[in-house]
Amino acid sequence: MCSQTKARHWRAFFYVTTMDLKPILDELFAMTFHAGIKPGLDRIADLCTYLNEPHLRYPVIHVAGTNGKGSTCSMLASILTHAGYKVGLYTSPHIRTFNERIRINGAMISDNDVVRLARPLMDRAKSIGGTFYEVTTAMAFQYFAEHRVEVAIIETGLGGRLDATNIVQPFLSIITQIDIDHTEYLGSTLPQIASEKAGIIKHGAPAVVGHRSGSDTSGRLLPDIRDVFIRKAEAVHTSASFAEDTIYVEMDTIHPDLTMTVSVTNDADRRYYTTDLCGQHQTRNIATVIAALPTICELYFVEEPHVREGLLRVKQTTGLYGRCDMIYTDPFTVIDVSHNPGGIIALRETLLASGRAPHSMQVVFGAMSDKDVAGMLENIAPLAHTIHLCAPTIGRALPVEELLNLALSLGIMNTVAHSSVAHAFKAAVSHGPTVACGSFHVIDEVVLEC
């Protein structure tokens, strides 16, 4: 696909907001600033009682983790969709349109359904101090119940134990890679964060853990957090298994279009799969998905061709994007929603493995002020010829002046500060191969320029 055609594709894909939807979304988003983030389950329980418990009307796979949970959810949804089931998929945050959060077999919730479901839930939430995320979660639960999905795959928003999604009663809980993030809510150590994620493990629902022990991709030795999950599973009388104990997935080839072929070894069996998700970090997610299949197959008829086709067409089937997505071929341009050091490391290693040389790329970078911005800058610097610093137009964004001062304090001198994401992106692509990263909000504004 040529650059112009791809640009038209992106504009058409994202331009879905209607005049009827806008005032509702403005009011809904305003709840973020009025109510903020409030961990806890009392308010979502009230909203679900108001709706007659929609979250209990279909089987649920519940997924938590710091990195990889969105990709893991989408892989599972793609496989089950190709197996012929009606699959609800709830993820967050969105990149361009709110509707992306709630999908059935890849199709986004309609504007009319957002308006219809949001109004009474917002009124109810305001009376009890509810939040944007709680209203959105209740909307997803109700939408899936109305459409009688055969399975819902539900991604946690923040943490697990006190996340609004944790009102569900899953038949399978999945925990992906754990890293330092949202320390003000989840704790400052991996064991503390793992304990919060382990809060989704429930009685009678086996847990599959995709987190790998040992060292991360930067060589940092990780504390052993396996016991956190084992103890939680024992406390609720279920089992916790670890993907790394039974499944080994190795990256075989990264193709020029940023698809990837992997080898999957399970006992003495080795199979090769091609997927439209790319990178060493995706091998961990694939291992997690493969390890979860035996439990899924106790309820659903999933065969090898479904797995093969599902992994091959994750993006096409589910609408997932922003995960090492090549949006232009000339110049080579990639967008990635990585927003913590672990995600940035995975992005860097993927692009280096695809043939990009160190210090060869124009990097468009902005971040939220509550993130480990220094860790992200340090880990993207080895890939960058020039880092184009910017701040997306959201209150939480780190101002570009502070971002520049931080980069200089870290000894990162190959930086240019820009007045907007748009200016940063235009300057970057005019100088050669480009990658944009650091925040969902950066990618939102980059896509507007495509």
DSSP-assigned states of every residue in 326-338: EEEETTEEEE---
Q: Residues 52-102: pLDDT tens digits?
A: 999 999 999 999 998 889 999 999 999 999 999 999 999 998 988 999 999
Closest C-alpha to 29, from 40, 17, 41, 39? 17
- Side-chain-facing half-sphere of 290: CA atoms under 13 Å: 27
User: pTM score > 0.85 for this model?
Assistant: yes
**What are the residues whose beta carbons fall under 8 Å from the beta carbon of 179, sequence distance 6 or more?**
66, 67, 190, 193, 216, 340, 341, 342, 343
182 within 8 A of 158, measured Cβ to Cβ: yes
The CATH number corresponding to 14-318 among 3.40.1190.10, 3.40.50.1170, 3.10.290.10, 3.10.310.40 equals 3.40.1190.10
CA torsion angle for 431, 432, 437, 442 (degrees, to 10)?
Answer: 50
Residue 117 tokens, joined: 């479901």
Q: Residues 111-165: pLDDT tens digits?
A: 999 999 999 999 999 999 999 999 999 999 999 999 999 999 999 998 889 999 9
Q: Which residues of the chain have pLDDT under 70?
A: 1-19, 33-37, 180-188, 213-223, 450
The dotted CATH code for 325-449 is 3.90.190.20
C-alpha pair distances (Å), 205 with each of 169, 200, 421: 8, 10, 44
Residue 420 tokens, joined: 């907007």
Residue 350 tokens, joined: 């993927």
Residue 228 tokens, joined: 């956190």
> Domain extents for the chain?
14-318, 325-449
Q: How much is the pLDDT for 135?
A: 96
Measured between alpha carbons, how far is 241 from 247 in angstroms, rounded to an integer? Answer: 11
Closest C-alpha to 337, from 364, 301, 298, 311? 364
Measured between alpha carbons, how far is 132 from 358 in angstroms, rounded to an integer? Answer: 41
174 within 8 A of 62, measured Cβ to Cβ: yes
